Amino acid sequence: MHIEPGTNVYTDDTVAYYGMEGFVHRVINHAEKYVDGRVHTNGIENFWSFVKRTLGGTYISVEPFHLFRYLDEQAYRFNSRKEMNDFDRFQLAASRIVGKRLTYDQLTGNTECQTPVN
């Protein structure tokens, strides 16, 4: 995990978050309330809901080896959802692939049986 020191971190009261150092750590106890001023976990719960709907509905079968790639894509979509729609993201991605080639072997990391291109 890469979080800049001094960052505000809001979590629920799960024991796994105890002992976080170097951050401004605020905790919300969901047994008591879900929001306390600016302290809530609604943003991250919204993100994971978005990810679960996409992985379960759009991609259906995700190999664990590639999971970080799917999560990167969903983080990008989630973080750019206010500035861009799906068409804008597609147009941007398409403009950046001109002149680039990715082979199946490169994509899958298969370096043993790469065949020369004629």
* pLDDT tens digits, one per residue of 67-98: 999 999 889 888 888 899 889 988 988 898 88
Beta bridge partners of 35: 40
Neighbours of 15 (CB within 10 A): 6
Whole-prediction pTM = 0.58
Q: Is the pLDDT of residue 116 over 60?
A: no
CB neighbours of 114 closer than 8 A, spacing ≥ 6?
103, 105
Q: Dihedral of CA 101/102/103/109: which sign?
A: positive
- The residue-averaged pLDDT of 10-19 equals 87
